[in-house]
Copies of this chain bind each other. A is one copy, B any other.
């Protein structure tokens, strides 16, 4: 299997980076081919601008999604974006590895999605969810945070982190599911700056096990297109 890991943490020796390294080692040992986009190491630019297009459909007024569509079709996306798109096309499984900042991704990873998930290829017209451009691919989120597990969920002060009403819904459903990927239940490392070395070793082991048993991991239910008409109104 070909795997793309998109990793974003400003500290190369973070526990989050250790989880990333664990994934690379585990998957490689299984015979999978792993490509890593380490966004901080690459100094990836997360800001969507007119400079993303080597040729413009409308040089007077920037409609970012329309320019994505025509630049992708014409092969006129800037090299930084086209390179990442090629990695996604090549991958069967995408793993997103990041620390949770403000209940979502760090900006550098949000911008990777803003710029790489181009209209026309990833989605477009009626091609979303089960008909999305990335159908057939799988996605797995591996995130670390400072908060404790009991602060989340039905009784948690912050409400759900993942699941149908979770804080991460804009990523899990609104981005990964939206483009047609099959999205696994995320792997979350809670309270990592404060836990013991033993607890960290256990988390690394849990993560390894999760990767070895990925075929048994639950996937998230996405909206069913059959429940909506062809303008996406509820039937």
A-side residues, CB < 8 A to B, are: 10-11, 13-14, 40, 46-50, 61-66, 101-108, 110-111, 113-114, 117, 129, 146, 148, 150-151, 155-159, 164-165, 167-171, 173-175, 178, 193, 223, 227-228, 232-234
Copies of this chain, whole number: 2
Are the CB atoms of B157 and A173 closer together than 8 Å?
no
Once bound together, how far apart are the Cα atoms of A233 and B153, in whole Å? 11
Q: Can you list 21 A-B pairs with a CB-CB distance of less than 8 A?
A: A10-B48, A10-B50, A14-B62, A40-B47, A40-B49, A46-B107, A48-B106, A48-B107, A66-B193, A101-B110, A101-B114, A102-B114, A103-B174, A103-B175, A157-B234, A159-B164, A159-B223, A165-B169, A167-B170, A168-B170, A169-B169
Are the CB atoms of A232 and B151 closer together than 8 Å?
yes
Among the listed B13, B40, B114, which residue makes an inter-chain contact with A107, where contact means beta carbons less than 8 Å apart? B114
Instruction: Beyond A10-B64, A46-B108, A148-B232, list 7 extra A-B contacts (CB 8 Å).
Output: A40-B47, A47-B108, A48-B101, A106-B110, A110-B110, A150-B234, A159-B164
Residue of B nearest to A146 (CB): B65
Once bound together, how far apart are the Cα atoms of A40 and B170, in whole Å? 23
Residue of B nearest to A39 (CB): B47
Q: Is the interface of A mostly helix, strand, loop or mixed?
A: loop
Q: Which residues of B contact A110 (CB under 8 A)?
A: 101-102, 104-107, 110-111
Residue of B nearest to A111 (CB): B107
Once bound together, how far apart are the Cα atoms of A65 and B71, in whole Å? 39
Chain B: minimal CB distance from A96 (Å): 13
Among the listed B46, B63, B114, B227, which residue makes an inter-chain contact with A47, where contact means beta carbons less than 8 Å apart? B46
Among the listed B66, B107, B150, B174, which residue makes an inter-chain contact with A108, where contact means beta carbons less than 8 Å apart? B107
